[in-house]
Structure 1
């Protein structure tokens, strides 16, 4: 902040000091005082507190809070169950009516399914009669087996390749044929339906049978849907009846509320105990740390306050200015004495004074003396060693040789390399001192240039 100037840096240091005081107050909980802060220390607890004490109390608090939460959830469920009793009763009555239809709908589904199967068989027989018998490999094989059975019934024996003659009733193949035909009849109907001759009267009823099958198919689907709804209602009814049976009494709810209230009081007391133990343990553990931290903040306050004072106008800036002005004022005093003029000085407020009087109160010639002596001092201190002074004719004639003498002394002594003194005069100088060149300018041109040697 010094780059922004001493005032900005001083304001920042003051702000840091205020922050340090605020930090000290936050640590100690007390208002800051410079004397109080010198020896401040936190109070020690009258009893010792261990981490084990805090852990035990914390564990007890966790268990108690878990019990309280469980009790609150249970009570909330009981109240919700009680509050839902009116709606549940109406729903139970509604479900009872639907659930009572389960047996009736099961019977209807069974009867409709049996009817459907019957008419499916009738439709299959009619369609088979319309096409000259049932079609397909299995039906052809059944008819072929029937022909073999008829052949066996028309003959008494069979002669095999080795000239062995066997009675048909002793051949196992015939028994297998009979068993297969019995199974076919069980699964696909009589061989008469599979026969090649068509029953035209039965075939004409196929559309009628198909209508029965379609209607019964829809009826069976509706039966299954209605039965599922009734069975679902029965399940919901059992669940609602179980809920109704578990409704607690008003006295039980009141007792549960009292238990919860007691648990809350115990929890609050235990919370306060845990917080107290935690604070006490923290204070005990941080006694020295708090003391050191507070001391650091106090030291920051002191140091930032010192910096603020140092950066104030009457601090370092004043010292710097005084140090910078001292050689200038010393040089001005020497030059004033050499010119036999009243002393010129620059005060700490950077005001110029001539013989103790302010610059604004000086006459024109006195101001010129001040300007001349300041310009000469700057030329010497800066190392430029060159000065130009105009309008020296503002000086009274008796003071003009004084400035000439001062400039000649400084150039001859090596303090200045060149000094030009200009003014409006009535006539050229009659006598030019040694070491000075006189140049007369008229209408912008040099008319005469006379040195001391030429004048001699």
Structure 2
């Protein structure tokens, strides 16, 4: 970054300053309260849009130097032959013609790196190394370690924000897996215990299970066969009871034959008598004497009557017996009743004779005899079989229960092993994502060029010892001395070397240093020689040096141009050196 021009008006102690940068090294100097720091802060503000003293935007009005009669102040920097950065006060309007590198604040204020937290230093170094926690590089490193690809994919979304969030997620998954293991086993989780933990389970004898199953099948068959036999016995004894009842009925019917025959004989005789009576009464009612037979002469067709002895001429009209006519309906009714009694008798006689024949047949074929004792015995046999069946079923149910419990125990063991594997896998991922894992590995790679550049600058500056940034982001001198314990002058040198290293690695090729006057004369000479070497090697475009001097130095090399500020204004150079 080559600075071409700096212009600042009415900002804090600055009244009006315009500097056209003529050489790579600009030494901006003046006495105390001259406006140097205000110009430096204005340059920082113009590039970053933020005041280096964290002043709230609502208080930007305090930054305007109203002694100049202006209500508006501004600072702009022209650089790289056409680009500009500008801040306007008090509205805080920030203007940039291009996007600037995120590391620019650390070259504008070299002490910034030494004052931020270790995490912020890591973030900067990740940015400098063009490293991303959510990138393919981190995923590849996790997979190269043999980690589960599914879990790696699960943690990647958290890597988008930071390694810390990803590490926290993995740590939470460890707790979750251990909690699941405890919930499954009912025991407190332990890494060693969980390795070969098995859920207790009952013994399962498959041979006994097969034997019991066969026994149940055999008993079922015997119960079925015996039950069928019992059914046949019951049917037989019920049939015997029905047969005996039928024999009694048939015997009673057969024993009625004599009485039926006697009554039938009597009824038949009565029918004959009453048939004569009805016939006689019918003849008397017609005026015909009983015993006469009316006929016609075959020769002359005369009407004749045969009285049993001779043919006599039949008279045309005979006297009607009215009493006979009156009795005729009663006689006919009696005859109908007698004939019905004969028919019933004949029917009853036939049924009784059939019953007698069937009785003889049934008495000849008695069949197998089944007793109540036989029924009781077979029922007892069935109960014994059922008792045996129940016991076999209980044994089978217990075996089945044991099988189920064993299967559940195996499943519990499997689940516990899975949760343990999850805990172990997440533990490895968490360790890999911890600050001393992959982040440290990647930071080490990013740190290497920074530390190499600092080591180079130490050599050129003649700095006593070696300065380096450790993996834990601590800044140390080679004697183990912490940066925070260093003197102001030493800190200025270390800050400058770190700022130059950042400038070199990022390609910004610019940095700005304040309080150059803290260095003693030998150190100043070494410092300027170091800067001139950078310019000569084309490793720096512009360096802005700020310092409190008695007067502007003279007889400086062409690559260094001094600029004197007094009372907020740029002044002509004075001849006397500091």
TM-score under structure 2 length normalisation: 0.35
- Greater RCO, CA 8 A, separation 6+: 2
The structure where helix makes up a greater share of residues is 1
TM-score under structure 1 length normalisation: 0.44
